Amino acid sequence: MYVIGLEGTAHTAGVGIVSSEGDVLANVKSVYTTEVGGFRPRDAAAHHAREFPGLIRQALEVSGLSPGDLGLVAFSQGPGMGPCLRTTAVAARTIALALRIPIVGVNHCVAHLEIGRLRTGAEDPVMLYVSGGNTQVIAYAAGRYRVFGETLDIGIGNMLDKLAREMGLGFPGGPRIMEMARRGERLLDLPYSVKGMDVAFSGILTAAKAHLRRGARPEDVAFSVQEYAFAMVVEAAERAMAHLGKEEILLAGGVALNERLQEMARIMAEERGASYHCPEPEFLPDNGAMIAWTGYLMYSSGVRMRIEDTVVRQNFRTDEVEVTWR
Ligand code: ATP
Ligand code: FE2
């Protein structure tokens, strides 16, 4: 069976095609960005509406399949921005009705975890999911994926993007902060905020801006912010591993493209005798393949949805999904 998956919870319109054997035949995307930064959901939704038809064609071309080969369509049902989710759902319903194939709505956070397991071979990991809007520590327990820790204010990527904007670096800020941090030399004082397995970043952002105003080198600020913020999320993940007795860490989300975060997570895993897992770069940020694969897992374990069940869910919680395929 071949499955097409549409991702569209936030900035990214992504289309992936996977086989029931877990081969990824296509994974294409287009990311909505603005010059000035700032996220306007309606503009992002308009971007997705513009891009999906071409992306779907492109994915079919890359995969070498024709529309008639598709047996299932999956889409990101939530959580995310209402306008983006609705646009994506409309595209998916159109495919389902035109091709007369079944449709399933997928939880975006669960999809990050499942594509990570597929690509790395991790079996029962603690996932550290770090992106623009999300910062969560998720793991399997008693039939569900549960959130054991999360940010109490803004997402870690959001914090990096805001800091980059303050420095005049543009969007997305994460990669530019990473570049700059390589030339950092001094560790500046910042608030370190971990409560149990939860973290918070607005204090770091405020303190970093204050350092900049007082004339600190931007390179030192970038370096210090990374050291503090990444140490915090890695500590939260480590606590979850200790608490749950799990021996694998899995990275997910766009911020996990960061080389320093990867290094810290790897070292933490080594020191506890655990294993470190990170999928290839194309599977870390939002992508269509993760939706297609998770849709397949759901469908093959008996999940069925009618078109009426495909209403989007902006606040779709990770632990609302019954994990029927494990
Ligand atoms: P969601 O939160 O729904 O997953 P998103 O659009 O934020 O949506 P991603 O594409 O996973 O999701 O991640 C984008 C984020 O990753 C941005 O905040 C960006 O700055 C950050 N990012 C990308 N590359 C790096 C990097 N090398 N280092 C740090 N952060 C990075
Ligand atoms: Fe995501």
Residues with CB under 6 A from ligand 1: 9-12, 80, 131-134, 155, 157, 160-161, 172-175, 178, 253-255, 257-258, 285-286
Residues 276, 292, single domain; the answer is no
Confidence tier at 170 by pLDDT (50, 70, 90): confident
Residues 228, 302, single domain; the answer is no
What is the average pLDDT across 155-160? 97
Ligand 2 midpoint to CA 253 (Å): 5
Domain CATH for 254: 3.30.420.40
User: How many domains are there within the chain?
Assistant: 2
Sheet with strand 12-19: strands edge to edge: 24-31, 12-19, 2-7, 70-78, 103-107
| Choice from 131, 138, 230, 258 to test ligand 1 binding pocket (greatest atom count within 8 A of CB) | 131
Ligand 1 midpoint to CA 192 (Å): 21
Ligand 1 midpoint to CA 31 (Å): 11
Domain presence at residue 326: no
Residues 264, 287, single domain; the answer is no
Residue nearest to atom 10 of ligand 1 (CA): 285
Residues 128, 270, single domain; the answer is yes
- If you search the block for the tokens 């594509």, which residue do you land on? 115
Residue nearest to atom 2 of ligand 1 (CA): 133
Domain containing 31 equals 2-112+283-320
Burial tier of 315 (Cβ tally within 10 Å: 0-12, 13-18, 19+): exposed
Confidence tier at 44 by pLDDT (50, 70, 90): very high
Tell me the three state secondary structure of residue 288: helix
Residues 275, 129, single domain; the answer is yes
Ligand 2 midpoint to CA 285 (Å): 6
Residues 169, 89, single domain; the answer is no
pLDDT of 37 strictly over 70:
no
Ligand 1 midpoint to CA 76 (Å): 17
Q: Which atom of ligand 1 is nearest to the CA of 79?
A: 3
Quickly count helices (H) and strands (E) in the chain: 9, 12
Alpha helix (H) residue ranges in 100-194: 108-120, 156-166, 173-181
Residue 100 confidence (pLDDT)? 98
Q: Which atom of ligand 1 is nearest to the CA of 133?
A: 2
Which ligand has an atom closest to residue 150 CA?
A: 1
Q: Which atom of ligand 1 is nearest to the CA of 226?
A: 29
The DSSP symbol for 125 reads P
Residues 71, 203, single domain; the answer is no
Confidence tier at 39 by pLDDT (50, 70, 90): confident
Residue nearest to atom 19 of ligand 1 (CA): 174
> CB neighbours of 5 closer than 8 A, spacing ≥ 6?
14, 15, 16, 17, 18, 73, 74, 75, 106, 288, 289, 290, 291, 292, 293, 294, 295
Q: Which atom of ligand 1 is nearest to the CA of 252?
A: 11
The amino acid sitting at 283 is F
Tell me the three state secondary structure of residue 275: strand
Residues in the chain: 326
Domain presence at residue 242: yes
**Cβ atoms 161, 171 nearer than 8 A:** yes
Write the pLDDT tens digit of every residue in 107-132.
999 999 999 999 999 999 999 999 99
Which ligand has an atom closest to residue 29 CA?
A: 1
**Separation between Cα atoms, residue 299 and residue 289, nearest integer Å:** 15
C-alpha 308, offset from chain centre: 27
Domain presence at residue 200: yes
Write the pLDDT tens digit of every residue in 246-305.
999 999 999 999 999 999 999 999 999 999 999 999 999 999 999 999 999 999 999 999
**Separation between Cα atoms, residue 151 and residue 200, nearest integer Å:** 5
Residues 229, 106, single domain; the answer is no
pTM of the model: 0.97
- φ/ψ of 158, rounded to 5, equals -60, -45
On the question of a cis peptide bond just before residue 83, with omega within 30 degrees of 0, the verdict is no
| Choice from 135, 160, 179 to test ligand 1 binding pocket (greatest atom count within 8 A of CB) | 160
Residues 223, 241, single domain; the answer is yes
pLDDT of 36 strictly over 90:
no
Write the pLDDT tens digit of every residue in 178-228.
999 999 999 999 999 999 999 999 999 999 999 999 999 999 999 999 999
Residues 138, 262, single domain; the answer is yes
**Cβ atoms 274, 288 nearer than 8 A:** no
| Choice from 278, 286, 314 to test ligand 1 binding pocket (greatest atom count within 8 A of CB) | 286
Residue 131 confidence (pLDDT)? 97
Confidence tier at 33 by pLDDT (50, 70, 90): confident
Residues 39, 90, single domain; the answer is yes
Ligand 1 midpoint to CA 259 (Å): 13
Ligand 2 midpoint to CA 217 (Å): 32
- φ/ψ of 127, rounded to 5, equals -95, 130
Residues 243, 315, single domain; the answer is no
Ligand 1 midpoint to CA 197 (Å): 21
Burial tier of 201 (Cβ tally within 10 Å: 0-12, 13-18, 19+): buried
Write the pLDDT tens digit of every residue in 303-319.
999 999 999 999 999 99
Burial tier of 275 (Cβ tally within 10 Å: 0-12, 13-18, 19+): middle
Ligand 1 midpoint to CA 253 (Å): 6
